[in-house]
Chains A and B, each alone.
Chain A
């Protein structure tokens, strides 16, 4: 735990990429292979299961400190991070000898975390209390986070790949590819990961995803300025689904989410459809939910993706398809270095039916659930801009622009893939509640619930977390504290004084907010200091957008 704790705090203490990579490299070079494998699993950000409820942890910590529960809660509301709050509250270890003996990360993960799953409460409490005795406060924070499944480290997969590539002395892209799929299960697998030549390959392994950058341009002239002539580009609709890779090698068919999670269990019909692909095929595309030729809202797809097991009922209610837009491997050969125009030709030969045929009712999903992402054609940027303007009524987010000559790169390599999203909808809304944030914004009121006018009252319509500068958040925090009407734990109800320009992607009817409507991807564009709450928008304004939003 000591070495991993050291890594955690080194990563936490720096914003420099070079420093972070150095910290990772140092760690992986020094840690025993089994610990390194465990650390990699944690850093990869895969789903972490919690062995213990935070309620229990709070209760036991309160008992160990002798402080009443309300005081522990008061501290948590101030600190904004439970792992840290408890680490600071717990008494110092009374025997330095016990704390000096180290517990390796792999062993700690196994004996103090995984083994607790399914143990009874008395056993859990015994283990937790014993670990508190052994760890220094800095170590406790990290361990608490592992225990409750909430460890987030500020490093991207790219940085991890870079550090390991330097250590193994292989190309970064090569290491990124080796890291795809599930992290090494044990020390031996970690050692293999660092070998100069890969000795075994996992037949299920996907490729690192190529990610598009946002093109924040409205005027056609600006797009032309940034991207050059339209003939060098391929345009497609940007579907509002889940990015995924469909891998068919040998007898295996696997579906991988962008978070590199295996989602076979949630998308059984896609796995079945993948069986019809030739061996040695990898498709990049989008999972979408379509019923009777109608695109279903993202929320339904997302609900389905979180299922461990899909029932017949779900399959009938939220049927899914895979819309392919790139071919990464054919006949077992990696095609990523081929130009897009060539890959597209091969893709069209493999997957013939455009997805738009399904939506138009001229094709059925019963014959196969893999469709081709149709091209959007235009002889000029102006023509494409007209198509883009139709996005909302088509249920898409805008256009994807891909350079015809581009290879399939790794990660967010800027320049060849752009998402040209439709302009968001906007309305001015008033902050009604504020909640203290977490992590970097712990203790600062940075999460807001906003409202609009309806019958002379403000009703809540959205929660927004982002869009303001740190300085603005600090300023708003002060105003929130000064205008608090009621406190409910970390949430404060404030006198309405703050008006925010809120942007969002769409509006739909919902039971979640009192207003009866919900907005998608709400975020704050700017603080309208020039406006009074009375100047904010009305619920009727927002509802009118449902009509125009299709």
Chain B
């Protein structure tokens, strides 16, 4: 059962073949058995999950009308506030903090009776591409435990690939949903910026952050997308418009007559041969399914990475200022006679990890008077140019595609001391965040040279998220008939028995 898709589980629940309590318990058992190897979770909320599951079962027994995913368990990235449940963002500075409120995403999950199993590991404050920057130790990729599961949402993606949960929530600032999905053989979507409320999402970079759905199939992802999306008065940047019809698109998977634009700049040099091979193969399958493949050019993408590493650190330097030991979280050095300033300094010194400090310093510098125009100001101009590139490209194609990342999962520790090499991993995912459009990664197969999963990225215009689901569903179906079984059936057996 735990290897089924979320929709299959939902239908088993609806048919009365299993209760939510039993389904939740199966997942809790699986976590107990494999998570010591994978370390996808930072906190397992056994009691809360079972309580929620039994409430859903009771509602079902009473014949109440339930949402499509009611009773299905989910893994929640530890960057979203959940009332009463520890929320650390992978940082020591928030150790022990239990939010007194629910984020809007969590409120919507609860309203949809989706059972929250616990909080998943992540790079500290979502800064990283490997989950190695978690203050609580790295997460391991279920495909090869010596490799990274991507980041920052490595815990959420790994929990799906390890069959610890059929659904997960991630957040994506520069690729933190899509890159982990790519390297774990799972599906992840960054919705249009403003499509899902950021209220209760602990901010890394406010203008780039976006929560989104993760799952093992395109349809499951779409179902979860509709459950968490929609306008929220508590988030001023939330878009006040109907939620795109992503479930319908995922069910139809129709790409006949669609124009699919291959972004010239997001391929070629620096992309692993196996990554390129799988990408070409996917394009052929989409062409066979009736889509027209065209090439588009986005010349300013070249500057996206540089601009991103000015904007995101700038915003983070300000967003993370609130962690000052005054009201919540860690407090260090509060001994007789210490001033507030000394306590703030010591707490931040001890509480933040190296990558977080690096970015705070970078951002503080970029915003400083005298440097602002050259750094933050120029980066904003690049951002506008990137958006214009997308706008122009979308006049030639309905969606744009690229490999999700240049390589498959690298070894834990391999790039820890080379931040630039680490940053390059997000070269294909970052433009999407810069322009606020939607992006999806789904598995396109395994690289011949290392047998590891490769991701295929689909990008759709603002609030046209349904398009990437149509294309994703079409490609998923074509690949499935080619492979005969879902890609995750090839994940090696982990410690426990299934």
Note whether A and B form a binding pair.
no
Chain A interface residues toward B at CB < 8 A: none
Chain B interface residues toward A at CB < 8 A: none
